[in-house]
Structure 1
Amino acid sequence: MKFIHLSLFWGMMFMSTIALGSNTPAEKLIFRLKKIQKKGIMIGHQDDPVYGRTWKWDTGRSDVKDVCGDYPAVMGFDLGKLELGRKENLDGVSFDRMREEIIAQHARGGIVTLSWHPDNPVTEKTAWDPSGDAVKASLPHGTHRAKMREWVDKVGNFILSLKDKGGNLVPVIFRPFHEMSGGWFWWGSNSCTPEEYQQLYRVLYRRLVSMGCDNLVWAYSPNVGYDDFMKYYPGDQYVDLLGIDIYEFDKDNAKYQLSVKQCLDELAALGKQENKLIAFTETGCQGLPYADWFSQTLWPAIKDYPISYVLFWRNAWDNAKECYMTSPGHATENDFKAFYKLKKTLFVNDIK
């Protein structure tokens, strides 16, 4: 049985303890993920059904599906700008459309993971503005605590709106305040202490649980280059899945493979030690300049690790650099078809 502390209000110190059984949507998803993990590695793609390399906003489309005939097992979406009450996220995806796609992915047997790039609450610039001491300002007794609570409530209300046809909450993997070991986000290493980050994560957790969001599998994912993977770790009771974000930006396959193997060695050991699921929570080779990258660079680096899934970042129709997944007519198309046929690469039809 898992014990989770609840906070009824953002700034209150009073906490009560309740027990969550194994029948919550989150617990059911964790159980399922552990079963699937024994079969292979789920393949995921960010914003997969809403736009691709040469299209946007069509329905029933997917760069992955257009190449191999099957949807990715995992779809990623981002909640950035939801906190501001916008109708579209930071990449122009309608939140109504996002909700529809999350429910559709769940209905077809797939998995969903959510990240959140909230704007800087102090400077009101993007998440990539690390100035303003925003973490401290967002904590209980901070100058912007009320604003942050309002933002979190909007996220919670969206999460509570994710329901299947039977009215049941759709479980999702939630990965807030990721890549904290880097310095580019307002919650990153250059903007707060590890203790402040941990408190920010815990307050978010408690608030959403207190709202009834028992459909969240909580993920913690630093980026490659960390000096201590667990430095910002908020605690076992707040985390269900350990992840790592690693990209290849410099066209150096050997360097990328070495980084992946070093990080996954540590991640696998920590997952076993902490009894947590592990995943490759973000990756990709920017621009995909190598026709055989999926089968000859990525797969040899990850195939022997017990990771739940690997999530490739998005294919942006308006930015050629933001191409991390194959698509029809792309040089990687045939290689990805071979990658798809591997026994241990899992897509939606493999995990139903």
Structure 2
Amino acid sequence: MKKIATTLAALFLYMGMNADAKTPAQKLIKKLAKWQKKGIMMGHQDALFYGTTWKWEFGRSDVKDVCGDYPAVLGCELGGLELGNEKNIDGVPFDKIREQIQAHYQRGGFITISWHPHNPVTGANAWMIEGEAVAASLPGGREHAKMNLWLRRLTDFMKSLKTKDGKPIAVIFRPWHEMNGGWFWWGVKSCTPQQYIQLFKMTVDNFRKAGLTNIVWSYSPNASSDDTTEKFLTFYPGDEYVDLLGVDLYQHTTQAEFIKQGQQEMRIMHDYAAKHNKLYALTEGGYRNTPDPQWYSSTLLPALKGFVPCYVLLWRNAWDNKEENFGPAPDKACAANFRQIHRERALLFLKDVGGRAYKND
């Protein structure tokens, strides 16, 4: 009870600090705090663009096919936009991403955006770490002008996210994630914490200089089995640059280890959020192909027990890659268990938070 009381007190304080919210981002923060007080929202990456057996069907979602409701949180990806491409790294046209963001927002849902930019030095994808690309992207670096161009293309896209009557749509933006891992060119093997922090701040400053007021900034390391608050904050750019703490957590080994890590990460984020008036979430995660038919109730929920992150975002269900499959789908063994947690309202879905008709569905 003490833990819950502390969480609620922090949330009320955070809401109070944003009682006079004026910008779209401030209003979104206030709204997220409101729903965090009521429960954990369910999210799914690329939920409205494709699923395990389909793609590009407006109004469809694997989550909806399973339980009759959309996820409350839609995850989107902007990798490839920096190059001026028409489609992202997963083959989704950016025009379609914009369209679905507008539709989900109109239904009353929330949007979070990730970015896996190409390596500015080598031109390869985000997982190719050669070239000391972070140093090259910073002021004085040989690719700094290119990075500024890339950020301008992102700010232009963010400015285009508007309602039918022209109002900005606020989104959670989660750049430079999993930096404590060694698999991205902005990760621990490719830059120092100081260089990473400079890159994060430079990104935020570019968005602010562009006049964007609809961005809620997320910081999200990868979960670590021996994580501590100090380690979690190694790359932290500072409270003035972060609105939402996040962690990315996948089950790679045992159920027990996932639950243990989940509890550990939730505690770290909860305690910091309570003291610094931040939101927190499980910003990315899942279990590849979800082979445990009871995984949601036996593993995911116990990993969160006692804590109330804003949302949990399960990673995508790729139609063209069987190994990139983390959310529920009608053809998966976990479908019945997912329907069960939906019936029990263990997580909040779009109908729980939206309250608006599903137009064009």
Q: TM-score range by the shorter chain?
A: over 0.9
Report the equivalent of 1:243: 246
Q: Tell me whether 1:61 sits opposite 2:56 in the alignment.
A: no
Give the partner amino acid of 1:322: E
Shift of residue 344, structure 1, vs aligned partner = 4.0
Q: How does 1:1-352 map to 2 (within 5 A)?
A: 22-225=21-224, 228-250=231-253, 252-352=254-354
Which sections of structure 1, spanning at least 5 residues, go unmatched? 1-20
Shift of residue 22, structure 1, vs aligned partner = 2.1
Higher strand share: 1
Give the partner amino acid of 1:146: A
Structure 1's consecutive aligned runs of 4 or more residues displaced over 2 angstroms after TM superposition are none
What is the root-mean-square deviation in Å for CA atoms of aligned residues? Answer: 1.0
In the aligned structure 1, how far is the partner of 2:210 from the partner of 2:102?
20
In the aligned structure 2, how far is the partner of 1:325 from the partner of 1:222?
21
Q: Deviations over 1:113-156 (max 9, x none)?
A: 00100000001111111110110110111111000000000000
Aligned length: 331
Give the TM-score, by structure 2 length.
0.90
Q: Deviations over 1:69-94 (max 9, x none)?
A: 11000010110000000000000000
Give the partner amino acid of 2:236: Y
In the aligned structure 2, how far is the partner of 1:99 from the partner of 1:302?
32
In the aligned structure 2, how far is the partner of 1:148 from the partner of 1:85?
13
Higher helix share: 2
Is this contact kept in 2: 1:39–1:344, CA < 8 A?
A: no
In the aligned structure 1, how far is the partner of 2:238 from the partner of 2:128?
27
Give the partner amino acid of 1:79: L
When structure 1 is superposed on structure 2, of 317-326 and 305-314 the one drifting more is: 317-326
In the aligned structure 2, how far is the partner of 1:126 from the partner of 1:346?
35
Give the TM-score, by structure 1 length.
0.92
Is this contact kept in 2: 1:53–1:63, CA < 8 A?
A: yes
Give the partner amino acid of 2:214: N
> Residue 111 of structure 2: SS of its match in structure 1?
strand
**Identity between Structure 1 and Structure 2 (%):** 50
Is this contact kept in 1: 2:261–2:303, CA < 8 A?
A: no
In the aligned structure 2, how far is the partner of 1:262 from the partner of 1:71?
29
Give the partner amino acid of 1:238: Y
Q: Deviations over 1:215-264 (max 9, x none)?
A: 000000000125600010001100000000010123x1111111111111
